[in-house]
Structure 1
Amino acid sequence: MTTGLEFRVDRENFDRTDIAEVALPEADELEPGQALLRVDRFALTANNISYAATGVALRYWEFFPTAPGMGVIPVWGFAEVAASRCEGLDVGERLYGYWPMATHLVVTPGHLSRGSFVDVTPHRQSLPVIYNQYLRCAADPLYRQDTEALQMLLRPLFTTSFLLDDFLSDNNFFAADTVLLTSASSKTALGMAYLLHRHRAGRERDYRIIGLTSEGNRGFVESLGCYDQVLCYPELEQLDAQAPTVVVDFAGNAELLSRIHRHVDTQLRYSCLVGASHWDKMGATGALPGPEPIMFFAPTQAEKRISEWGAPRFQQNLAQEWQAFTDFVSQWMQVETNLGPTQTDRVYHQVLAGRLQPESGHIVSLSEA
């Protein structure tokens, strides 16, 4: 019997992990239309911890079901077709997309085109299509072999950054003059700050971009030049409480969000929840002054723009911004690759504990090579 590996976390205690052997189908055991994919390498970032922290609310646990009480965290990376009974999808083809933390995945490709397919496996049908779509690298306009690491680390995060920037612009920044980003060193926040800074001169509304971060990350965040002001968390109350403000919360820290609401109070125009990099400090905020915090769900804004612009223009706009962003990021990001189950577990726990430097990027694989 052929087996693969699956990295599982306790859904109630993310510190508790298990790497389990799972049976894999032989090529002749696949159903007609199915394919077995070998997950090659993937990125581990705070974004993956956010998937776990919001796994029930946003249904992330449902993509890759596993043993009761456990969950498989979704990741972004590359895979190759190991076996195929799907006409038009050949063994050896390289794919980019949304994978389990595992060595393999069985998919049922539907809507197969030159550039992509959608996994139409029954349990995924009610889940957002943006996570079910897999890109065929040979026809992907954003794919370059020499930037695979940046694609794994940043492409899904930057897509969220792109959609957040577009969402605020689409809503005229809710008439705010200040955009406050928490966890300002996180990669999604950096991508958003980069876009806010890049596009500000061409927008009707002027705004200040302010980042909140830890003392240890302050120098790095300031050095990037994307933020007009960088404050450490204890300095929050230095923020001008009279300026109409939008907060985009990447931290998921209930106490911090409460402080922001109470300080800005009636001048808070919109409270947007995105990530949970401080997942261990999530909790009920209680009644807060100002607008009720609203979770940002990137697929909703993506579907809105695709319906308005059409898919080709959406991809063109995203690709143009992505190219400029990767040129910016390549100047400072340090990529580290770790292979095998032991190293994957080590990096996962480092990410979970928030012990990684903001300029670092980690690529891992459950395979040894």
Structure 2
Amino acid sequence: MSTTTQLLVRKDELSSTRVRTTDDPALAEGQVRLRIERFALTSNNITYAAFGESMNYWQFFPTGEDGWGCIPVWGFASVVQSLHPGVAVGERLYGYVPMASSVVLAPERLSAARLVDGAAHRAALPPVYNQYFRCASDPLYTADTEDLQALLRPLFITSWLIDDFFDDNDFFGARPGVALLSSASSKTAYGTAFQMHQREGIEVVGLTSAANKAFCESLGCYHRVLAYDELDQVAADVPCVYVDFAGNGALRRAIHTRFSLLRHDCVIGGTHVEQLAPAGTAKELPGPRAAFFFAPAQIKKRTEEWGPEGFGQRMARAWQGFIAKVAQPAVPWLTVEHHEGAEAVQAAYAQVLSGRGDPRIGHILSLSS
């Protein structure tokens, strides 16, 4: 009998993990079993865990154990068993998977390009996370860049949507003006900066730790990079928006207090897990109320306006421009490290959770033996 290995995380103490191996149940008619061959782990996945209860991320891959969750990640998998006539053994898919060696899907709404997991427990969750792209006909797929796709594709799509959201809203009256991006060394932040840097009238200012300042400057996608204690180098009366990738409550307070023309405070994630401050607790701060950005809502809006094909074409063009920059041979933005096996995966998770890793390193993990 085959088995599945999972990394489980305590929902109320993200540093507490354990590895669980269970026997695989028999498939029901219409189901397929995927062997998860590689998945990326980034600070974005830590955000999924940090907001797991409030934004339902724990519901995608329930563990059946109270208090323990399985963090969703993005990766590549191959079909190893199929009781679905439209999905062949050996087919390769890209999509949302658990930190595990395998997963069972119930494919429905199949097309040449994708399929959707129709499992009952995922029916009410955002559709964008339930889609799996069929690599053989995926326009964004190339076999030699799987690692970069796993690491950057879901993050860049979010980055592209954040930039589009702000442009769609004319930067909430802060154009011309400044876009302040916290956790500037994070992949979603610098993907957003890459896009915003192309907008007229917007100065993109990256905020980061002193240790990561040189890295952020080397990317060339920020007009300026400041350490967190250098916020006073931005004029207090400039129209600005804040794009918060850090979730640091003290930084939010400093920005709301300093900038009298702050037009929008957009909460993306929480890379500073130890300092997370829920957006709704900042009612006493001056300026606009912090608001979560929800990527699926912008996807829905633009798909309705541009049509699915138009949406896909625009996204593909942006992705190709970004990945060419990231993978440039002379100065690549990212170096991939592989971690295989339960102990290596636990260690990599602890490193990413700590937030002290080298921003130039991208972590690709595997629990498949």
Look up the match of 1:16.
Answer: 16
Look up the match of 2:235.
Answer: 240
Which aligned segments of 4 or more residues in structure 1 are displaced greater than 4 angstroms? none
Look up the match of 2:263.
Answer: 269
Look up the match of 2:273.
Answer: 279
* Cα deviation, residue 88, structure 1: 1.3
Look up the match of 1:141.
Answer: 139
Look up the match of 2:246.
Answer: 251
Q: Which residue identity lines up with residue 10 of structure 1 in the other structure?
A: R
**1:42 paired residue among 39, 43, 58:** 39
Task: Write the distance in 1 (CA, Å) between the matches of 2:294 and 2:22.
Answer: 32
Task: Write the distance in 1 (CA, Å) between the matches of 2:363 and 2:3.
Answer: 26
2:308 is equivalent to residue 307 of structure 1: no
Please show how residues 175-190 of structure 1 align to structure 2 within 5 Å.
175-176=173-174, 177-190=177-190
Residues 255 and 285 in structure 1, CA contact (< 8 A), matched pair in contact too: no
Task: Write the distance in 2 (CA, Å) between the matches of 1:332 and 1:272.
Answer: 26
Percentage of matched positions with identical amino acids: 50
Q: Which residue identity lines up with residue 191 of structure 2 in the other structure?
A: G
After superposition, give the CA deviation of every residue in 1:6-31 in whole Å (9 maximum; x if it has no partner).
Answer: 11000000110011012213xxx311
* Cα deviation, residue 285, structure 1: 3.6
Q: Which residue identity lines up with residue 343 of structure 1 in the other structure?
A: A
Look up the match of 2:100.
Answer: 102
Task: Write the distance in 2 (CA, Å) between the matches of 1:343 and 1:219.
Answer: 29
Look up the match of 1:77.
Answer: 75
Look up the match of 2:350.
Answer: 349
Look up the match of 1:92.
Answer: 90
Task: Write the distance in 2 (CA, Å) between the matches of 1:355 and 1:244.
Answer: 32
Task: Write the distance in 2 (CA, Å) between the matches of 1:309 and 1:239.
Answer: 37
Task: Write the distance in 2 (CA, Å) between the matches of 1:325 and 1:58.
Answer: 28
**1:210 paired residue among 196, 205, 211:** 205
Partner of 1:210, secondary structure, is: strand
Residues 282 and 290 in structure 2, CA contact (< 8 A), matched pair in contact too: no
Partner of 2:347, secondary structure, is: helix
Aligned CA-pair RMSD: 1.0
**1:297 paired residue among 294, 298, 306:** 294
Task: Write the distance in 1 (CA, Å) between the matches of 2:228 and 2:24.
Answer: 48
Partner of 2:199, secondary structure, is: helix
Task: Write the distance in 2 (CA, Å) between the matches of 1:87 and 1:258.
Answer: 55
Look up the match of 1:6.
Answer: 6
* Cα deviation, residue 92, structure 1: 0.7
2:142 is equivalent to residue 129 of structure 1: no
Look up the match of 1:361.
Answer: 362
* Cα deviation, residue 200, structure 1: 1.8
Task: Write the distance in 1 (CA, Å) between the matches of 2:183 and 2:10.
Answer: 25
* Cα deviation, residue 286, structure 1: 5.0
Look up the match of 1:334.
Answer: 335
Unpaired segments ≥5 residues, structure 1: none
